[in-house]
């Protein structure tokens, strides 16, 4: 079967090559989420999220105020259920999300 051409809107367009300058006295939060399939597309899905708050002080020096990370393993192919979850710093009660659906009602789950 011949490969169809990609839509010209597919993918990243004109990505930036720098970040805006930091304003003295400001705080910038950056976040990222990586979606991994370490065992292939027919196995679990691993989500890795990270965040950082960076303070720019009056003389433009930067200081990390706080960081956080979470890693969740999802049995995506079979039941879309959380099979493992951890965070740094540790969030008490987070383990109660293991076994819950990762698609329906996950954000509304009461786990504290």
- Is residue 13 domain-resident? no
- Is residue 20 domain-resident? no
- Is residue 80 domain-resident? yes
- Is residue 83 domain-resident? yes
pLDDT (tens place) for every residue of the chain, 112 residues total: 677 777 777 777 777 888 888 899 999 999 999 999 999 988 999 999 999 999 999 998 999 999 999 999 999 888 889 999 999 999 999 999 999 988 877 777 765 5
Domain range enclosing 82: 26-94
- Is residue 74 domain-resident? yes
| 24 neighbors 63 (Cβ within 8 angstroms) | no
Total domains present in the chain:
1
Predicted structure pTM score: 0.75
- Is residue 10 domain-resident? no
How far is 95 from 107, CA to CA, in rounded Å? 14
């Amino acid at each position: 079967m011949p490969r169809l051409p990609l839509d010209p809107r597919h993918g990243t367009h004109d990505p930036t090559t720098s970040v805006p300058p930091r304003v003295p006295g400001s705080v910038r939060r950056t976040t990222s989420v990586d979606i991994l399939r370490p065992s292939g597309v027919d196995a679990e899905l691993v989500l890795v999220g990270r965040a950082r708050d960076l303070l720019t002080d009056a003389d433009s020096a930067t200081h990390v105020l706080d960081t956080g990370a979470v890693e969740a393993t999802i049995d995506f192919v079979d039941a879309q259920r959380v099979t493992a979850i951890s965070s740094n710093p540790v969030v008490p009660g987070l383990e109660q999300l293991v076994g819950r659906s990762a698609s329906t009602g996950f954000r509304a789950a009461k786990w504290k």
